[in-house]
Chain A
Amino acid sequence: MGAIPVEHGLILAGILFSLGLIGVLTRRNIVFVLMSLEVMLNACGLAFIVAGSRWEQADGQIMFVLILTLAAAEVAVGLGLIIQMYRRFQTVDINVLSELKG
């Protein structure tokens, strides 16, 4: 039962967040974009857990639960949108959704 430095946990969260960001930025398939987004959200939850563990408080886990709720709702709506988009454009290429071009 060795204690883990808080720094390491936070660094891990940072790495996961950056990887998720790369995924969001580079993928053109909207399903991948959504998955990368999940990675980023998860990294945020990790950071909360690490902080909660540092001070031995339950609040970190509560925040994680809330983030989880958010992620669930977001995925539900996002996937609904993807289905709708696929029906309309017959593709999952996110670049076709550029009608708001100035």
Chain B
Amino acid sequence: MLDLIWLLPTFPLLGFLILALAEGKLAKGPAGWIGAGSIGLSFVVAALVAVSFLQSGLESHTVPIWMWMSVAGFDPGINLYLDGLSLVMILVITGVGFLIHVYSTGYMADDPDFSRFFCYMNLFVFAMLLLVLGDNLLLLYLGWEGVGLCSYLLIGFWYDDPYNGYAARKAFVVTRVGDTAMAIGLFLLFAQLGTLNIQDMLHAAEAEWAVGSALPAITALLLLGGAVGKSAQLPLQTWLPDAMAGPTPISALIHAATMVTAGVYLIARTHTLFELAPNVQLLVAWVGLITLLMAGFTAMTQNDIKRILAYSTVSQIGYMFLGLGVGAWSGAIFHLMTHAFFKALLFLGAGAVILSLHHEQDIFRMGAKRKQLPVGFLCFLIGGLALTAFPYTSGYFSKDEILIAALEVEGQGLWLWLGGVIGAFFTGIYTFRLFFVVFFGESRGHHDAKEVKGLNIALPLFILMALSLFGGWIPVPLDAVFSHGAEHEEHHISAFMHGVMIALPLFGIAISYLFYGSGILSAEKLMSLPGSRALHRFWNSGWGMDRLYDFLFVNPFLYLARVNAKDIIDAFYDMLAALSRAGHLLIVRTQTGYLRWYVLSMAAGLVALISVGVLL
């Protein structure tokens, strides 16, 4: 059964090929069946594989499929590598992916490019599965770039609007910065260790490199560069909010549940390297912490329902990075999984709300929609509770694990913990600000909203609701993967600390209730305080990062491009051209067009010739 892993990426690939070769001539019914069905088959295979893998008790299993190339000792194969980590990933990708595909058949039903959408989606799932199943870094990189491409294609899916194209380009270019770092990291790893097979490489690294030496630090740093690009962490986080230009299921699948967590996967996969470089690992924690706080502030000031969720995603991935940084490897992956559940739920719920309100995305033009949109209301209630780590929802377990691990870090542990808890507090505020503004208060528009009907929309939502609520009880089989890292021991923290961790998000919910639910406190009054408006603007613009990058990189680059538009090297060739043109203008004067002139020159030539003959 385990050898059937190769079927996993095959089904989406087939789906992609069929849809691509049909060139959009397929009717929507078959296209939807092929698009969603291929992922469904993949999920069935993944479930069967999971069962047999867990029963077999193996630590890992490799299925060689093909030799990619073999050149002078460099022989990366197309081998699929299955262990606890990739098992979790494939289950999340195919499971959540399948639900989102089913949902999309309803959501995109009216779109003329229906089959193109599923074509890209299937390609994405294929690439993502390659990414998590690849046993060497090259195959991983192939999948990595593949998902980047799909992300680009799907953000710019509605390419009629130039803004969408701009957002797609931005996402592509910004992640490319990280990918370049990652590629250099791969080169360095291969040059130093002679292999790109992940397991061999990690063993070699452990054997050859001392803890804290320079080489693992550099390589870990380069891989971290790739990870922050893909996972939208500081300093490359600016692309994710703009990526919301794509259709909402895309935001759910690619920009919340799966692709953006590829960075987390990469670091977890190469965690041995990071353990060899404790400083870089600590950097990972701080990157995550700062990102989650900044994104939290920004999310509180956004009005667009999808951008709020986007910043929330950035923030939650920040938690995962925090978890990775403090050595809570399985905690981070656990949070990845639960986050996939509840963030997919929130995005799909948001999609249902948006669709019901005729593509309205401004939360301040909704209001009091809980009666009209009961399913959306339920989505946001459950998803929001899970997101804010309400006790015994899925988010609670995973976030708990990360924060407790953070506390145990020597020296800076308390700070990391404190930052994480404050972030959780912000999470409560911005999540329920969204919740209260949309579903409570008075209706501020779209009074005639009607819930979108259809089983293919509702069913995935209900399944995701269940997963968001109870996903925390799912045991993740990660002990074998990370066993040789930090020893697992029972965490003991004081009841007070635990209490704070539970209470602060609830406190956040209470505050947003006061502001937006009951109207006891007023945001307008807060805004009238001196300086608050500027602060709001600052946070709303995502801490001015876009403007900073425009100033630091984009504008200088544009300036240089403008300067060099008349290529400096060209000047030399232009000079040659000008010279020959001048010579031409000089000589062309002899071509007067007058016959007599030509006869005259001939006669003069004759005279000259005879002179030469006579004189010599």
Contact = CB atoms under 8 A, between A and B. Distances in A.
Do A and B share a direct contact in the complex (Cβ within 8 angstroms)? Answer: yes
Interface of A: 21, 24-26, 28, 33, 94-95, 97-102
Contacts of B588: 102
A24 B596 contact: yes
B593 A99 contact: yes
B548 interface: no
Interface in B585-616: 587-596, 599-600, 603
21 contacts: A21-B603, A24-B596, A25-B596, A25-B599, A25-B600, A25-B603, A94-B595, A94-B596, A95-B594, A98-B592, A98-B594, A99-B593, A100-B591, A100-B593, A101-B591, A101-B592, A102-B587, A102-B588, A102-B590, A102-B591, A102-B593
A33 to B, nearest CB: 8
B596 to A, nearest CB: 6
Interface string B49-72: 000000000000000000000000
B582 to A, nearest CB: 14
Contacts of B591: 100-102
B299 to A, nearest CB: 73
A29 to B, nearest CB: 12
B596 A97 contact: no
Contacts of B603: 21, 25
Nearest to B603: A21
A101 B597 CA distance: 11
Contacts of B587: 102
Contact of B593 (A21, A28, A33, A97): A97
A24 B589 CA distance: 22
A102 B590 CA distance: 8
A94 B592 CA distance: 13
Contacts of A28: 596
B599 A101 contact: no
A91 B591 CA distance: 22
Nearest to B595: A94
Given A25-B599, A98-B592, A101-B591, 17 more contacts: A21-B599, A21-B603, A24-B596, A24-B599, A25-B600, A25-B603, A26-B596, A28-B596, A33-B595, A94-B594, A97-B593, A98-B593, A98-B594, A102-B588, A102-B591, A102-B592, A102-B593
A95 B598 CA distance: 12
B601 to A, nearest CB: 11
Interface in B292-334: none
B569 to A, nearest CB: 32
**Residue with the highest number of chain A CB atoms closer than 10 Å, among B590, B594, B595:** B595
B609 to A, nearest CB: 15
A102 B589 CA distance: 7
Q: Which of A95, A99, A102 has the most CB of B within 10 A?
A: A102
Interface pairs A-B: 10 shortest CB-CB: A98-B593, A102-B591, A101-B593, A102-B588, A100-B593, A98-B594, A94-B595, A24-B599, A25-B596, A25-B600
A69 B484 CA distance: 110
A95 B603 CA distance: 19
Interface in B169-224: none
Given A25-B600, A25-B603, A97 B590 contact: no
A102 B294 CA distance: 71
A21 B595 CA distance: 13
Contacts of A95: 594
Contacts of A25: 596, 599-600, 603
B496 to A, nearest CB: 97
B45 to A, nearest CB: 78
B383 to A, nearest CB: 80
A31 to B, nearest CB: 13
